[in-house]
Chains A and B, each alone.
Chain A
Amino acid sequence: MAAVKPKRHSPTMDMTAMCDVAFLLLTFFIMTSSFRSQEAVSINTPSSVSKLKVEETGIGTVSITPEGKYYFGITDPIEKRKFLNTLNTNLKLNLSDAEKKAFLDVAEIGVGKDRIKSYLSLSKGDREKAILPGIPLDSTNAELIDWVRAYAEANPQGQLAIRGDVKTQYPAVKILFDELAKVKFYKFRLITKGE
């Protein structure tokens, strides 16, 4: 009579527990996270001891690149829509519906009113590759101020945040302060990162 062999354990592990862990973590990260929006330019903000967190709503952000170019962005989609309508009327941009949609897709706008129409009519891929001249702001053409005013008009509760790079030279910030002071805008938020 053949001996009954003892039941062999196959070398496979039970993966169920591991699977549970993986999906638990996945669920956790999906629920706690917010997506990183596609930024037109990478800005390395200086660090500070400030404990104040940036709010998701009620903030319009002026980004200043190390080269002194200005970009304007709004996080909240509802505010952005309102801002777009005001800007469209104030600056007489005459944007089409498709261009408006493209505007809402872009996290930060880095072109002035004379080029915004052609910029927004580009395809998504081309937009990312396009060289952005920044919104003009100097003593002769203070267009960025019109943008800020349009934002303040569309969202009276909104605040203006300035996001500068570590290497941004002070004159670029100074022009912004000076021009905003002319339209009685004195309160700012400076965006930094925690230490």
Chain B
Amino acid sequence: MAEVQVKESGGKKGGGKVRSKKGGGKPDMTPMVDLGFLLLTFFIFTTTFSKPNMMKLNMPDKSDEKVENQEKQDIKLSNTITIIMGKDDRIFWYQQALADVTADDLNETDYSATGIRADISKKRAAALDTAIFTVVIKPTNEATFENTVDILDEMEITGNKRFAIVDVMPQEQKAYEEKIARPKGQ
């Protein structure tokens, strides 16, 4: 306590003289409290609370030089799933040879837990070899950065280590354009 005990000098001197109380020694703390809270408010407003997160992303090597050295593997259709992200947060997947993919092969789903996540898990469980199950991510030019992050998030959640972000092939682009022209759910 910032209270200074004022010693009453000469307590009783016989007479009934009432002394006026000395007011010194006890400063008013109110402005200091005001100042304290003002600074506190200022600091709270100017600071960043949560640091942003980040996710790692490694892109495939695009140079064609070392193709012979890369491990070659027969990839069965059931071991891969291709995801195409399109306009207005629409998303499609297919399991099909690239050359003959058509609009009817694209299955529409959504970014929710029961959507693409369930589909990936289902296809993963049905894969011939779960260890090499690969997700091929193909964002179209109409997809957003958020879509890409969402899908990478799904890879993290479903525990898929094998995935790659690849450009859309002309055949897929054709199928996608046909599919996106149809209203959702058809």
Contact = CB atoms under 8 A, between A and B. Distances in A.
A19 B32 CA distance: 7
| A47, A48, A188 pick with most chain B CB within 10 angstroms | A48
Given A22-B37, A170-B144, A174-B139, A186 B53 contact: no
Interface string A16-32: 10110011011001100
Interface residues of A, number: 58
Contacts of B4: none
A50 B53 contact: yes
Contacts of A45: 52
A169 B37 CA distance: 43
Interface string B144-186: 1111111011001100000001010000000000000000000
Contacts, number: 164
Contact of B57 (A165, A172, A190, A194): A190
A13 to B, nearest CB: 9
The SS class assigned to the A binding surface is mixed
Interface residues of B, number: 51
Given A4-B18, A53-B54, A54-B54, A29 B59 contact: no
| A36, A52, A169, A192 pick with most chain B CB within 10 angstroms | A192
Given A26-B36, A173-B145, A194 B54 contact: no
- Closest A-B pairs by Cβ, 9 of them: A22-B36, A15-B29, A33-B47, A164-B145, A168-B145, A46-B146, A50-B55, A170-B143, A46-B149
Given A19-B33, A173-B145, 19 more contacts: A16-B1, A30-B43, A33-B47, A34-B47, A34-B48, A36-B46, A46-B145, A48-B55, A48-B150, A48-B153, A53-B52, A169-B141, A170-B85, A170-B140, A173-B148, A181-B62, A186-B58, A192-B55, A192-B149
